[in-house]
Structure 1
Amino acid sequence: MNIAPEVNDFTAFIQQYFGLLGTEDLNTIRHYFREEKLSKNEFFTKSDQVCNRLSMVKSGILRIYALSDGKEITQWLSVADTFITEAVGFFFNQPNRWNIQAFTEVELLTITKTDYHKLCKEFPKWNEIEKQFIIKCFMMMEDRIFSHLSMTAEERYNRYFEHHKELFTQIPLQYIASVLGMTPETFSRIRKRQAEKS
């Protein structure tokens, strides 16, 4: 049975992304989110489906990937304290481009698309929160594009390692190589050089 998330967890998560909100506002938002668990390898959503929920990751790792010419391309790895959805499906009601799959057991705080629309009507301030969320998404996209255009492969590796060091021992390294836009061979060479320096 789904239950409302704990106040402290939810409050910290929301305020981390959107700043301070009053208790009444937080209670209104919290009412629409439910706890959800995914087993390892279970899909959050698949390509060609239409994603019907937006979630906050409490724990675990999800992989966002697509198939191209028979090969899997990992676009992102979502970890605790991040949002997860397939934006084209959730916001524009179009078939997903990406698969989102639990790499480990995952705990989520989830709002369905139906409840999301109800929240927008009941709580007009959510429209501003949504705008901030979309702005953060665009900022992240721009940051990734900038890094791919302006940074060397080794600089991208070092930056990702600095922010996600724990992933390097938790998942296959070819997934990280794909996120960074490099071949596994290039990734391995850089990793070896970094190990020799330390």
Structure 2
Amino acid sequence: MIELKQQFPQLSESCLVDLKEAVNYIQTKTNELLVREGEYANKAFFILEGSARAYYLKEGKDITDWFALENDFISAIVSFFSAEPSPHFIETLEPSKLLVISKDAIEELAIKHADFEVLYRQIITNTMLQQQRRLNAILFQRAENRYHQMLDNYPGITQRVPLTHIASYLGITLETLSRIRGKLLKS
């Protein structure tokens, strides 16, 4: 209960009791798949420690489109919200400690506890805004600006995540990423 209270101080005690019953705690290794393409993904993952990414395979290319670090949620959102097979994989990028909650449990908690419903809406809104900002960055910003924005959003990510995943997240080649990083080291 104490850990949940620290993670979600805005929730009432009764909500925290119900939340504790609804979540499962898991520990994973590096590169452990939480969701596979084609699966029905009805779970959300909250990262206590570690990191994860959502990615898909397109014409043999591995394309990362979401990172999650400590205190972030991650899910195969297309499948989670539409009940369709997931186009994404979700994998851990380092040993991780996660809370796992089903969509049904989330819906029940949101109905029963207004404070949880507010938190759920905030998480959905933040996720939508994050994805929209990433799309806008890819469409309208230079690669170097996208890199700086990623560093602002995910401090320390370059020490924790393989550069190939970072390059695909930014929509650039590994060579372009190396040039951008080289320029920063020189300045």
Q: Please, what TM-score do these two structures have when normalized by structure 1? A: 0.84
Deviation at 1:44, TM superposition (A): 0.6
CA-atom RMSD in angstroms: 2.0
Deviation at 1:156, TM superposition (A): 1.3
Aligned length: 187
Matching residue within 11, 19, 31 for 2:5? 11
Is the contact made by 1:40 and 1:106 (CA closer than 8 Å) also made in structure 2? yes
Matching residue within 155, 169, 172 for 2:159? 169
Deviation at 1:165, TM superposition (A): 3.9
Q: Which amino acid aligns with 1:51?
A: A
Alignment partner, residue 129 of structure 2:
139
Q: Distance between the aligned counterparts of 1:119 and 1:25, measured in 2?
A: 8
Is the contact made by 1:38 and 1:44 (CA closer than 8 Å) also made in structure 2? no
Q: Distance between the aligned counterparts of 2:110 and 2:154, measured in 1?
A: 34
Q: Please, what TM-score do these two structures have when normalized by structure 2? A: 0.89
Task: Kindly provide the CA deviation profile for residues 116-137 of structure 1, in whole angstroms up to 9, marking residues without a partner as x.
Answer: 3433443355433322222111
Q: Which amino acid aligns with 2:29?
A: S
Q: Secondary structure at the match of 1:149?
A: helix
Q: Secondary structure at the match of 1:65?
A: strand
Q: Distance between the aligned counterparts of 2:141 and 2:104, measured in 1?
A: 41
**Superposition pairs of residues 97-176 of structure 1, within 5 angstroms:** 97-123=87-113, 125-176=115-166
Is the contact made by 1:28 and 1:123 (CA closer than 8 Å) also made in structure 2? no
**1:61–1:129 distance in 2 versus 1, CA, 3 Å:** closer
Deviation at 1:83, TM superposition (A): 0.3
Deviation at 1:66, TM superposition (A): 0.9
Is the contact made by 1:88 and 1:96 (CA closer than 8 Å) also made in structure 2? yes
Q: Distance between the aligned counterparts of 1:26 and 1:89, measured in 2?
A: 27
Q: Distance between the aligned counterparts of 1:28 and 1:161, measured in 2?
A: 36
Is the contact made by 2:51 and 2:93 (CA closer than 8 Å) also made in structure 1? yes
Runs of 4+ in structure 1 off by over 4 angstroms are none
Q: Which amino acid aligns with 1:110?
A: V
Q: Which amino acid aligns with 2:59?
A: D
Alignment partner, residue 3 of structure 1:
none
**1:22–1:165 distance in 2 versus 1, CA, 3 Å:** closer
Q: Identity over aligned residues, as a percent?
A: 26
Q: Which amino acid aligns with 2:69?
A: V
Q: Secondary structure at the match of 1:130?
A: helix
| 1:186 partnered with 2:176 | yes
Alignment partner, residue 40 of structure 2:
50
Q: Which amino acid aligns with 1:97?
A: P
Alignment partner, residue 21 of structure 1:
11
Matching residue within 95, 100, 112 for 2:85? 95
Deviation at 1:21, TM superposition (A): 3.0
Q: Which amino acid aligns with 2:140?
A: S
In structure 1, stretches of 5+ residues that fail to align are 1-5
